[in-house]
Amino acid sequence: MHGLSRPCNTNVRMKIQSKNNDKIKHISKLVLSSSYRREMGLFVLEGARLCVDAVRSDISPDEFYYTYEAKEKYAAEFDEISEKCENIYEIDKDIAAKISDTKSPQGFFTVNKALDKSILFDKINNKSKLVALDNVQNPDNLGAITRTAEALGYDGMLIGSGCDIYNPKALRASMGAFFRLNIARAESLNELFDLCPDVDIIATVPDSDALSITDYIPDKGFAVVIGNEGNGISDDVLKRCNVKTTIKMKGRAESLNAAAAAAIVLWELS
């Protein structure tokens, strides 16, 4: 393949020397395009910490790309990832910059198969604590909410449309929580609610007449809905909610950032 050579180092299979290498073009497209990720059933992780976290969460990468400088700096992490991956490639720093989604790439990248998250519905019962995202678009919000949900012991996440869960920014913001939290995704949250047992579906709305989140005491399982950053919860989903809650605020702000609101609500309900 164009741009490949065998290095002297026996710990790697190949060294890629060209930005025009087919594998590099493939990774770049996986990083940039959600439709290509869905088509290929693959996603990319970047950074020593995130790649190692995935391996420690029993994710075996299909391919591992690294720079010499990264291997020297993160030697223990390199060995840990390499043990779980047969297809290993050394790349130069300029190639790492081409495929990176960050301003200062660490030089570690793994290509991984999309995870089967369908197990969520085998674990839901009428005591489950779920967070449901209705068309949340910002990848940083998606990742932060996933991280919060895992930290507070939630049983899973329901995602209706919105940002791709394999978006590189979302994966970084989740700090590895995405690997461990059960997640189900559909074009509409109502499709997922149809599969849930008897749980409260709780809307979080900027409405002073709604019940304060501090006053709602769950007595069974629930799915708490966080709405779109600009438009809130869609009308179709709002109709399915049998409880409407709000965060009472003393200032003049009408609403909170989706991730901030989620952190407050998930904490109160946990």
> What CATH number has the domain bearing residue 247?
3.40.1280.10
Pair 260, 140 in one domain: yes
Pair 196, 253 in one domain: yes
Domain interval for residue 61:
4-113
pLDDT band at 69 (very low <50, low <70, confident <90, very high): very high
Count of domains forming the chain: 2
Pair 89, 126 in one domain: no
pLDDT band at 122 (very low <50, low <70, confident <90, very high): confident
**Residue type for 230, please?**
G
Pair 142, 98 in one domain: no
pLDDT tens profile 77-102: 999 999 999 899 999 999 999 999 98
Q: Which of 113, 132, 166 is the last residue of a domain?
A: 113
Tell the burial category of 54 from Cβ atoms under 10 Å away from its Cβ (0-12, 13-18, 19+). Answer: buried
Residue 253 has pLDDT above 80, yes or no: no
Residue 1 has pLDDT above 80, yes or no: no
**Residue type for 248, please?**
K
Strand segments, DSSP code E, in the chain are: 4-5, 14-16, 42-46, 63-66, 87-91, 108-113, 129-134, 156-160, 183-186, 200-204, 211-212, 222-226, 243-246
Q: Which of 58, 89, 113 is the last residue of a domain?
A: 113
**First-last CA distance in the chain:** 53
pTM, 2 dp? 0.87
What CATH number is associated with residue 66? 3.30.1330.30
Pair 109, 204 in one domain: no
Pair 203, 92 in one domain: no
**CA separation for the pair 152, 57 (Å, rounded):** 18
Pair 256, 157 in one domain: yes
Residue 242 has pLDDT above 80, yes or no: yes
pLDDT of 129: 93
**CA separation for the pair 68, 215 (Å, rounded):** 56
Pair 138, 248 in one domain: yes
Pair 73, 175 in one domain: no
Q: Which of 51, 78, 113 is the last residue of a domain?
A: 113
**CA separation for the pair 66, 91 (Å, rounded):** 6
Pair 76, 137 in one domain: no
Q: Which of these, 103, 153, 148, 171, lies nearest to 259 by C-alpha position?
A: 148
Q: Which residues contact 126 (CB under 8 A, 6 or more apart)?
A: 197, 198, 199, 220, 221
Residue 115 has pLDDT above 90, yes or no: no
Computed over every residue of the chain, the mean pLDDT equals 89
Pair 102, 124 in one domain: no
Structure tokens at 11: 């710990």
Pair 19, 78 in one domain: yes
Structure tokens at 205: 């709305």
